[in-house]
Structure 1
Amino acid sequence: MILSVQDLTITRGGIPVLEGLNFALEPGRALVLRGPNGVGKTTLLRTVAGLQPPLEGRVDCPPETIAYAAHSDGLKAMLSVTENLRFWADVFGQKDISAAISAFDLEALADRMAGTLSAGQKRRLGLARLLVTGRPIWVLDEPTVSLDTASVQMFAEAVRAHLKGGGSALIATHIDLGLEEADVFDVGPFRAKPRAAQAGAFDEGFL
């Protein structure tokens, strides 16, 4: 087991949104989160990634093992595609960026400034960052936004290769990625019962 979530209750704006969550990720497996918009999938991913604390329960995983990718592509507009990937590789203590460029078909764009890319190209570059982190757990929030059909398949292949290499992925998406190694977890039944807002509301700064 590489990641374990136990009896987790999470809040948004200090108000509990999901409670009683229990699941685990093992090497080589993916877990796809499903549920209606606004149910709390993003809040759950942020909590698992350590960006906000849970109200109750715990998330257990080895330190420095999670790479988180959300709606922002996390790019520096005035750096080229290559320079962006080298920047993130340096942040995570990695060297090789060639696999990331190849996996997301970025060779022809290698010298282009990130700020000049289309939305889909920026998304591909943002996702390519995952491959230069060297981290085994990918936590991904709607990663296929702005991707065309071919790019979605490219992303699915990257996830599949990550899983075959012993990594794991927790993904919120409405797209069927065709991953045989993936299980589906519907968070809808875990909506929290109405409660008063919690003092502190630490997560409000991230809304």
Structure 2
Amino acid sequence: MSLLTVHDLAVSRGGLRAVEGVSFSLDAGQALILRGPNGVGKTTLLRTIAGLQPAVQGRMDMAEDAVAYAAHADGLKTTLTVAENLRFWAAVFGRRDILPALQAMDLTALEDRPAGSLSAGQKRRLGLARVLVSGRPIWVLDEPTVSLDAESVTRFAAVIRDQLAHGGAALIATHIDLGLTEAAVLDLTACRARPGATHRPAGFNEAFA
């Protein structure tokens, strides 16, 4: 069953097309790895699929509120504890149980610690745990392993496999080998927009690009 289908998608950054002609289907139980050099448009494409900016052209077919997005920012409230942060995000997604996320990201021993006192790697694990409490079937992840040590990368790869095993899907931009041998790979280099191609979607505010 397809959870996400992208048809001939084109996206822009700062009024310039980044990539165009992007088409793929993401089925339940499938992961897709986005590759390509820095600046090719991976982040812009992920932001568009997550609904944070409009597409220039093309179509995306998916259920409403199906996507959980994790970008470079961890999205934490530093004065709240680890557990309080996860309870906040669980409530945003209409959920309550945070224990599986704490356990999966090895945060149970830190649950009473203020997020502001965590190391960079611990903050990243907490930021990724927000995706787990969302309960959403499609994870859209932009360089999720930044600041993680090797053990945490392995742990998170196992979390992704569990998401796939339970009928979810993952779309991941990463330069790191997560060991997801079953994942398909889409190199966006071939979809790079022609030089100078411009487009500003109606209502697009570049200040929020």
- The TM-score with structure 1 as length reference comes to 0.97
Extract structure 1 runs of 4+ deviating beyond 6 A: none
AA at the equivalent of 2:141? L
Residue 17 (structure 1) shift: 1.2
Q: Match of 2:161?
A: 160
Q: Match of 2:184?
A: 183
Q: State the distance in 2 between where 1:206 and 1:68 align.
A: 17
Q: Match of 1:34?
A: 35
Residue 200 (structure 1) shift: 5.7
Check conservation: 1:28, 1:181, Cα contact below 8 A. Answer: no
Q: Match of 2:208?
A: 206
Matches within 5 A, 1:11-22: 11-22=12-23
Q: State the distance in 1 between where 2:198 and 2:187 align.
A: 25
Confirm or deny that 1:145 pairs with 2:149. no
AA at the equivalent of 1:108? A
State the SS of the aligned residue for 2:51: coil
Matches within 5 A, 1:10-159: 10-159=11-160
Residue 140 (structure 1) shift: 0.4
Residue 154 (structure 1) shift: 0.9
AA at the equivalent of 1:117? L
State the SS of the aligned residue for 1:140: strand
Q: State the distance in 2 between where 1:172 and 1:196 align.
A: 24
State the SS of the aligned residue for 2:33: strand
The count of residues paired between Structure 1 and Structure 2 equals 207
Residue 199 (structure 1) shift: 4.1
Q: State the distance in 1 between where 2:193 and 2:180 align.
A: 30
Per-residue CA deviation, residues 27-78 of structure 1 (Å, 9 max, x unaligned), is 0000000000000000000011111111110111000110000000000001
Residue 197 (structure 1) shift: 3.0
Check conservation: 1:52, 1:203, Cα contact below 8 A. Answer: no
State the SS of the aligned residue for 2:94: coil
* Alpha-carbon RMSD: 1.2
Task: Show structure 2 runs of 5+ residues with no match.
Answer: none
Per-residue CA deviation, residues 100-140 of structure 1 (Å, 9 max, x unaligned), is 00001101101000001000000000001111101000000
Check conservation: 1:67, 1:137, Cα contact below 8 A. Answer: yes
- The TM-score with structure 2 as length reference comes to 0.96
Residue 15 (structure 1) shift: 0.6
* Amino-acid identity (%): 63
Q: State the distance in 2 between where 1:199 and 1:152 align.
A: 37
Check conservation: 1:141, 1:173, Cα contact below 8 A. Answer: yes
AA at the equivalent of 2:34? L
Check conservation: 2:9, 2:58, Cα contact below 8 A. Answer: yes
Task: Show structure 1 runs of 5+ residues with no match.
Answer: none
